[in-house]
Amino acid sequence: MSSVAFDEASRVLASVRDVVAERPGGADPPAWCERRGWTPFLAALSPDEVQRAELDGLAAHVASFPGAPADLVDLARAVVALTTLPTVDAMATADVDPRRASPRKRSQVAAFAALVGRVGVSPSRVVDLGSGHGHLTRHLAGALGVEAEGWERDAARVAVAAALARDGGARFVTLDARDAAGALRSTDLVVGLHACGALGDLAVRAAGAAGAAVAVVGCCLQKREGDREPLVVPSGMTAAELTLGRSVLGLGNARDGDDGVEEDLATRTTARVHRMALRAALLAHGMEIGAGEEMRGVNRRRASGSLDALVASACALRGVAPPTVAAIAEAGRWAAETYEGVRRWSLPRTMVARLVEVWVALDRAAWLSSAGYASEVVRAFDASLSPRNVAVLGRPM
Ligand SMILES: C[S@@+](CC[C@H](N)C(=O)[O-])C[C@H]1O[C@@H](n2cnc3c(N)ncnc32)[C@H](O)[C@@H]1O
């Protein structure tokens, strides 16, 4: 991977730290919007322009919107340039075992096999970290004709994977990858499909420590304990400039569902209004909720269902009795009114969401390069299969 792309992405990310750090949450524009002089432009966008920017991303339209600030247009260009990744030709899905696998998962698995071809090694074993139901593990065992193991910490998923592999081909172990990194060998290929949270970093570092090849597609970067510190700091920058908190890492899911099933705009809008209402209801109920933490532990799909049920489940998780129906309705009214401003102020922040996700992958690839690997960041498959589609590939040299 060229260190120029990583250095440039790091510089652009650091330049928008204020934008990613402050999430628009009220009728008033965030401080970064005011400071950068973007408020009048965003406030003057017509409802049609707002909708087009929400559907296609602000970067696709900002240059053609009247009165667009020059620095916002420049930022859009930089984000597009840095997040447009090389693609890898996908393979047919016909030979991916359909048992318990959705058509989307089968296509992702088939595309992953093409990624492995691009890594260009002949491993003696495949180790799939966070193997879930083992679709990728079993497929690679057959496609590469090698021993394959799935290391997965969730015992119920391991049981399903083992049952599906009863006729041989792959082996599954209940194991937290954090405890098993030392068991990797230099002749392994370490893979991870939707290796969530810190697992993507772990996979890259564990492979690097063993000298093994690696191919990892990450997801849900915010599902981790604590902030994410950079693996590599470009010269002239500090680790603090590139340390990202969970609410920033969660931005990667700003436009789409966390396992790749993209919802339509109306559903996403309902979910956002309900999240704002949830936060308002919990705060008014005297609860302390950190920025972006209102949905912690709650399945994100619940946000597009009933607001009463959403508030009830968030309270139950925290062991608190829910607010009254009237208080929840009041929070709902406030959120619906306030969202009209929030959706405008959110456009620049959502625009840099993909940069956060791609930058994390570039950071992983830069770390591999520093460990003597040939590394690259590619788009693993089309966003319609899953928008969490950024792959880090590494081959020891
Ligand atoms: C989003 S799922 C993906 C599952 C599978 N790779 C797939 O694509 O269908 C992520 C999986 O990683 C597992 N996982 C997360 N952190 C882990 C760790 N430290 N060690 C082992 N498994 C982990 C989770 O339990 C979950 O099954």
**pLDDT tens, position by position, 156-203:** 999 999 999 988 889 999 999 999 888 999 999 999 999 999 999 999
CA of 194 to the centre of ligand 1 (A): 7
pLDDT (0 to 100) of residue 259: 37
The H-assigned helical ranges of the chain are: 3-15, 17-21, 31-35, 39-44, 47-56, 58-61, 70-83, 103-119, 135-144, 155-164, 177-180, 199-210, 246-249, 265-284, 307-317, 325-351, 353-370
CA of 42 to the centre of ligand 1 (A): 40
Q: With 60 as the cut, is the pLDDT of residue 256 above it?
A: no
Q: Which two tokens stand for residue 203?
A: 């996979």
Q: Can you name the residues that pair with 173 across neighbouring β-strands?
A: 151
* C-alpha separations of 127 from 31, 166, 196, 198, 389 in Å: 46, 18, 16, 17, 20
pTM of the model: 0.89
Nearest Cα residue to atom 17 of ligand 1: 130
Which of the 8 DSSP states describes residue 102?
Answer: -
* C-alpha separations of 294 from 19, 268, 315, 373, 396 in Å: 20, 17, 10, 40, 42
**131 C-beta closer than 6 A to ligand 1:** yes
Task: Please write the tens of the pLDDT for every residue from 86-144.
Answer: 998 776 777 899 999 999 999 999 999 999 999 999 999 999 999 999 999 999 999 99
Nearest Cα residue to atom 13 of ligand 1: 130
CA of 333 to the centre of ligand 1 (A): 38
Nearest Cα residue to atom 11 of ligand 1: 130
Ligand 1 mutation pick, 133, 140, 154, max ligand atoms within 8 A of CB:
154
**177 C-beta closer than 6 A to ligand 1:** yes
**153 C-beta closer than 6 A to ligand 1:** yes
CA separation for the pair 280, 331 (Å, rounded): 6
CA of 38 to the centre of ligand 1 (A): 40
Of the pLDDT bands very low, low, confident and very high (cuts 50, 70, 90), residue 25 is confident
Nearest Cα residue to atom 14 of ligand 1: 130
pLDDT (0 to 100) of residue 262: 53
Task: Please write the tens of the pLDDT for every residue from 351-362.
Answer: 999 999 999 999
Helix, coil or strand: residue 33: helix
Quick one: how far is CA 73 from the chain centroid? 25
